[in-house]
Structure 1
Amino acid sequence: MRVVLGPMEGVLDHLMREILTDINDYDLCVTEFVRVVDQLLPEHVFYRLCPELKQGSKTKSGVPVHIQLLGQDPHWMAENAVRAAELGAKGVDINFGCPAKLVNKSKGGAALLQHPELIHRVVKACRDALPQHTPLTAKIRLGWENPNDCFEIVDAIQNAGANELTVHARTKTDGYKASEIKWSYIDEIRKRFHIPLIANGEIWNFADGQACIETTGVESVMVCRGAFNIPNLGNVVKHNQAPMPWHDVIKLLLLYSQYEIKGDKGLYYPNRVKQWFSYLRQQYPQADTLFREIRTFNQAAPIVEKIKDYQNTRCLL
C-alpha cells in the first residue's frame, strides 16, 4: 500500500510537511499550488512554497516532494513546469481539482473539468516540455457536476502522456460532503484506462483506507484533511497504528509552534494553529477545551504559553 500526503492550500506548508513526514511513513508529498497565469515565475516563488528543493526535493525524513501547478495556459504551464524541474523537483503535479470559488472564478482548478480539451492541451504541453525522467501527474475530481464526465477527462489526461492521476471521488458541486463520495467511479476508471491511479476522498482511518482499496482496486491512496484530524493518519491508514494519544498531540503542537515562529510564516502562526485546532477538535474532545482558551489571542507568545501551561497541568502522566 502506498500513502500520499496531499496538498491543502494555506494549511499544509513545508513546515507541516516536515512534521508530518517525520512521524509518518508517507511515500510522497505534494505542495500547495503555484498559481500560473501569464508569465514564467521567478525562482523564489518555487523555493518559498517548496524549500525542500534545496535538499533534493525531499523532506528531511527523505520523503519525495512534487510541486503542484495551477493554471490554464498551456504555454506558461509548460514553462513553469520546466522551471520546477530545473530547480530539482522530483515531479510536477497539475491541479484540476481545487473547488475554491476564487480559483474557479479565474478559470483555474476544478473549472477546467468543464473543458477536457483544454486539460489535454495543458497536460500535453507540460509533458512535451519536461524531461522524460521527470514524472508529470495530475489531480482531478469526477467532473464539475456530472460524475460521468470523469471518463472523458481521464481520457484527455492519459492521451496527453501524464504518468499518474489522483482522483478525488466527488464532483466540484459535491464539495466535501461525505454522503457524495463515489469510490466506485475510480474502479470504473481503473478498468477502462491504464494510467496509474491514486484514490482520494473520505479516508479518515484504517478501515476507510481498506474499504477504498477494496472498492476501487487501487493500491495508492491520498490523505489530506484527515492528516490534520489525526496527525499520524499516514501510519494509521498504512500500518493500522492507533491514533496518536492527546498528550503526544500537545507535544506536536509545541514543536509546530517552534517551527512556525522561527520560520518565514511566524506572523501567521495564530491563524495557522487555530486552523489546525479546527481539525483536531473533530478527533480529540480535549482540543475543544484548549481551543476555547486560545481563540481570542492574536499573537504567538500567549498561545504558546497557554499550550505549555496546559501540558504542564493537564497532560502529566
Structure 2
Amino acid sequence: MKLAINGFGRIGRTILRQVLAMPQGSDIELVLINDIAPLATCAYLFKYDSTFGPYAGKVSEGNNALVVDGQSIPMTHSSDLANIDLSGVDVLLDCTGIARTSDVARRGLAAGARKVLISGPSPAAEVTVVLGANEDQLGGAHVVSNASCTTNGLAPLVRVLDDIGGITTGHMTTIHCYTNSQPMVDAPRGDLARSRAGALSMVPTTSSAIHLIDVVLPHLAGRISGAAVRVPTASVSAIDLIVTLDRSLDAETFDKALRDQVSASPVLGWTDMPLVSSDLRARPESLVIAGPETRMVGANQVRVFGWYDNEWGFSARMLDVARLMTAA
C-alpha cells in the first residue's frame, strides 16, 4: 500500500513515527510528504517532539527529501496539490485540517491518488468511518473522513453499550487536552471561553463528537448529548460517559459483558490499574476503559470512563482505515 501525507503537523508526524516503527516488510510504503513549511523546519519538528520525545533515530535533510534512518522520503512544499504528481498513490492522508469543501477534499484525486482519507471531520467526505463502529459503511468511497479523535473513542464504546443493553439516553463529557485552536495567552476567539489561555485554565466548550456520533450511528441519533472541558495537559484525553440502558442488568452481568466486548474489539482496551493520563501516552487503542472508574448505578444507569491518546490512537486509526480503503 503506497501512502502520501499532505500536511506534516501533529497527526502527519505521528503517522510517520508509526510507519517507521513497523517491522521490515510492512505492507505500508510512504512515498511522499507535502507541507508548506520548509524542509529544515519539518525535519526539526519531526526529530524533536515535545509530546512524544525526540525521535531515537537519525533525521536529516536530503535533496528535496526527509531522510530518516537512511530512508529518503521525497518532500514537496506546495499549497496546491495540483502541482504534485500523486500517480501510484493508493491513499492520500490529508492531515491539513482544511479539506472541508469538495474542491479541496478531492484535489488529491485530481493529482492522481486513488483515494483520500481526511484526518478530521469533513462535510465534503462521501462517508465518515470509525473503526469498531461503522466500518461496514465504507464501501468503495473515494473521499473518506476518519472523524475526530473523540468520536473514534466514543463511537466504538457506544456501539458496545448499545449491543449489551440498548441505549435510551446518554451524556458524554470529554476531558480534552488543549490544542492549537486555543491561544497560549488570552486572545479573541469566536467562543469566548476558548479565547482564554489554554495552558492556564480548564475551559468548558463543545465537542464535534456529538454531531458525529449521530452520523456514524444514525439509529442512536438524538439520544446522546455531550460537552468538552479543555484542560492544561499536552496529550491524552478522557471520555466520561453516562448512559441509561433499555434493559435492566445487575452489576456482575454488565461487567462481564463489557469486558467480553472490549476483549473482542479491534480498537478498545481495558485497564484495572489506577492510571493517570500520562500513563496512556502513545497507546494505540481508540479508547482504554478504566475498570476502577466504571460502574453501574441501579439496574439501568452505567458510568464508563476511558482514556485515549488523541494523537497517537487517532493516527493509528488513520493507518487502519487506509488499509480498509485499499482493500475495498
**TM-score interval, normalised by the smaller of the two chains:** 0.3 to 0.5
More helix by share: 1
More strand by percentage: 2
**TM-score, normalized by length of structure 1?**
0.35
